[in-house]
């Protein structure tokens, strides 16, 4: 199973949509890191994508809790109105497979909802 989804939308919009979809499935979501908030005191921090301090990039880490004891770590990285949502999988963090399936289903739902809303907005 691919553990990532690409959205054609900004990071904050995707974060809200993903959180709503996860919550609808009965999962508990904690926003544990937010790049925009972390950079607030650092006014002269150049963006690696834009080369200036005037950037719109976002990086959010969500901890998603289900029935398993350990949370699933979900990252959302965006720049230029494209956001990649990815489940973190490494040797130290192997998410519960059932929880990972639930998260991917919720992200797919969020992506389809966003795509439908964008299509309807372009018709109006």
pLDDT attached to residue 48: 54
Distance CA 9, CA 16 (A): 11
- Helical (H) or strand (E) element with 14: helix 11-24
| Token duo for residue 122 | 């372009």
Between helices 11-24 and 97-123, what is the axis angle to 10°? 120
pLDDT attached to residue 1: 47
Query: What percent of the chain is predicted at pLDDT more than 90?
Result: 38
Mean pLDDT taken over the chain: 80
Q: Is the pLDDT of residue 38 over 60?
A: no
Q: What is the largest CA-CA distance in the chain?
A: 48
CATH topology of domain 4-114: TATA-Binding Protein (3.30.310)
Least confident of 7-11, 31-35, 41-45: 41-45
Reference 82, options 116, 119, 49, 121; nearest CA is 49
Q: Is the pLDDT of residue 87 over 90?
A: yes
Give me the mean pLDDT over the 34-50 stretch: 56
Q: Is the pLDDT of residue 79 over 70?
A: yes
């Amino acid at each position: 199973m691919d553990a990532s989804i690409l959205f054609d939308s900004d990071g904050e919009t995707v974060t809200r949509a993903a959180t709503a979809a996860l919550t609808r499935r009965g999962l508990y979501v904690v926003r544990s890191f937010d790049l925009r908030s972390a950079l607030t005191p650092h006014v002269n921090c150049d963006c690696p994508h834009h080369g200036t301090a005037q950037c719109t990039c976002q990086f959010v880490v969500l901890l998603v809790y289900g029935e398993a004891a350990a949370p699933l770590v979900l990252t959302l990285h965006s720049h230029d109105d494209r956001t990649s949502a990815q489940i973190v999988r490494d040797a130290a963090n192997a998410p519960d497979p059932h929880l990972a399936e639930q998260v991917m289903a919720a992200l797919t739902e969020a992506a389809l909802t966003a795509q439908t809303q964008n299509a309807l907005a372009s018709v109006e």
